[in-house]
C-alpha cells in the first residue's frame, strides 16, 4: 500500500490521481500508524514550513515519517514535503525533520524581472544517477511553485539542479529518501514517468 501524507497542505488529490494514472492504488491519511504500515510513502505539500511542521508534530506524523525512513522503505518528498525533510528552513525560522542534512533557503534574486515565488515550467538537469530519476531526459521540464529551495549539506545528495537566475538544487536523494522541489503530479508525462519509477523503486541506490 502506498500512503500519501495528509497534513492539510493541499494538492493531495492531484497526487493520488497521478498515482492512479500509473496504476497504483494509494490512500490519503493523517494517521501515523497507517503511514508506518505503508510499503512506500509520498509526502507532498504546499504552504509554509512553520504551519506544516506544527501540523505533523501535533498529529505524530513527524515520528512516523522518520520511522518510515529508518525502516528503509521508499519515501518521496514533493515541494514542501522535500523541504521539511532537511534540518532547517529559513521560512518561519523552522527546525525540520533532519532526515537529510541541510537547510532550506529563500531565493535572494538580483534581477527585478524575476518574481518570487518561482512559478511555472523549468528545466531539470540530473547531475547524479538515481533510480527514480532515470526517466528524466536531457532538457525535461517540470512544474515549480516555490519561494524557498533546498541546499543539502553533502554535495552528493544533490540529484538534479535547475536555474532561476542561478543554479539551485531541485531534487535530493539520500538512502531510501528522494525528494523533488518540483511537482511531478503537475508535470504531465515526465512527472508520471518519475512517479512510475518511484512506485517500482525498492529504496536501494544500486
Cα–Cα distance, 166 to 150 (Å, whole number): 14
Per DSSP, 176 falls in state: T
**Catalytic residue list contains 139:** no
Of 79, 146, 157, 193, which one is the catalytic site residue? 79
**Catalytic residue list contains 79:** yes
Cα–Cα distance, 127 to 162 (Å, whole number): 10
Cβ within 8 Å of residue 33, ≥6 positions away: 64
Q: In DSSP terms, which residues pair with 75 in a beta bridge?
A: 41, 177
DSSP character string of 3-63? EEE-SS-S-HHHHHHHHHHTT--EEEE--HHHHHH-SEEEE---S-HHHHHHHHHHHTHHH
Helices (H) and strands (E) in the chain, counts: 6, 14
Of 91, 185, 193, 196, which one is the catalytic site residue? 185
**Catalytic residue list contains 183:** yes
Burial of residue 88, with CB atoms counted within 10 A of its CB: 0-12 exposed, 13-18 middle, 19 or more buried: middle
Of 118, 146, 157, 183, which one is the catalytic site residue? 183
Q: Contact, 117 vs 79, CB < 8 A?
A: no
Give me the active site residues, please: 79, 183, 185
Amino acid at each position: 500500500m502506498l500512503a500519501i501524507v495528509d497534513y492539510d497542505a493541499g494538492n493531495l488529490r492531484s497526487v493520488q490521481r497521478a498515482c492512479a494514472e500509473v496504476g497504483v492504488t494509494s490512500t490519503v491519511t493523517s494517521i501515523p500508524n497507517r503511514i508506518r504500515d505503508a510499503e512506500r510513502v509520498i509526502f507532498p505539500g504546499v504552504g509554509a514550513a512553520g504551519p506544516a511542521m506544527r501540523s505533523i508534530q501535533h498529529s505524530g506524523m513527524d515520528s512516523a515519517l522518520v520511522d518510515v525512513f529508518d525502516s528503509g522503505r521508499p519515501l518521496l518528498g514533493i515541494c514542501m514535503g522535500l523541504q521539511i525533510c532537511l534540518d532547517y528552513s529559513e521560512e518561519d525560522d523552522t527546525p525540520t525533520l533532519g532526515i537529510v542534512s541541510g537547510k532550506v533557503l529563500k531565493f535572494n534574486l538580483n534581477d527585478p524581472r524575476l518574481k518570487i515565488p518561482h512559478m511555472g515550467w523549468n528545466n531539470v538537469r540530473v547531475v547524479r544517477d538515481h533510480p527514480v530519476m532515470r526517466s528524466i531526459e536531457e532538457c525535461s521540464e517540470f512544474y515549480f511553485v516555490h519561494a524557498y529551495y533546498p541546499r543539502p549539506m553533502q554535495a552528493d545528495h544533490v540529484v538534479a539542479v535547475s536555474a532561476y537566475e542561478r543554479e539551485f538544487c531541485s531534487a535530493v536523494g539520500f538512502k531510501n529518501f528522494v525528494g523533488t522541489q518540483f511537482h511531478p503530479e503537475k508535470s504531465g508525462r515526465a512527472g508520471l514517468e518519475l512517479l512510475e519509477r518511484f512506485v517500482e523503486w525498492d529504496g536501494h541506490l544500486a
